[in-house]
Chains A and B, each alone.
Chain A
């Protein structure tokens, strides 16, 4: 599964993308965020406040309780601020 990070999530983790293979019990985006938090101090810092995070699965915005089975690309980022 390809992960993409944007804005301060990307800065805190230190990379803009990475490839991961989460175990089968990681069912939702929220589960994935919890699991990723253990990868490094940067991940832990980026994901410390899940309420400040938003996500997209295969490029569509989704709530964090969305299941990730079969997803090719998951992006995790702060609330958007365009316009």
Chain B
């Protein structure tokens, strides 16, 4: 197999949707360049959460995720970058977020994938609301997320 450096502009795919995330299809679309790294986040059932609702800032959300994907493409040699975030109501166990990066080699793919999910948590306008026993409560931002994002700055 050829291992020539990747050339050209990486394929960037950003999706914000109420639809379920099809990980197999997203992964298959990234299978180019030699290495694919992906992260999938699932809704946790912490403290009896029955429903998680995701609010976002239409327009600004897609722009923020696209900027993040473009920054990853500048920092690492990538063939493709994908960010998919679900919005609206969802249940524990369902997929809420998917990030993926394709590259010639594993290091760039793994690092870019970690960068995407760490920075997504602080740089994109999403808000989580948990419904427990019929009562809604907004999820508080966590300092640990800020620290995880800061290591890429």
Residues of A within 8 A of B (CB): 4, 6-8, 56, 59-61, 75, 77-83
> Is B78 in the interface zone, CB < 8 Å from A?
no
Residues of A within 8 A of B56 (CB): 82
A79 to B127, alpha carbons, bound, how many Å? 8
Residues of B within 8 A of A (CB): 41, 54-57, 59-60, 63-64, 85, 96-97, 117, 120-129, 138-141, 145
Minimal Cβ-Cβ distance residue in A for B141: A79
A53 to B63, alpha carbons, bound, how many Å? 21
B54 touches A82 (CB 8 A): yes
Instruction: For the A-B complex with A78-B138, A80-B121, A83-B41 known, give 19 more contacts whose Cβ atoms are closer than 8 Å.
Output: A59-B60, A59-B63, A61-B64, A75-B57, A77-B127, A79-B141, A80-B124, A80-B126, A80-B127, A80-B141, A81-B126, A81-B128, A82-B120, A82-B121, A82-B124, A82-B128, A83-B96, A83-B120, A83-B124
Residues of A within 8 A of B123 (CB): 61, 80
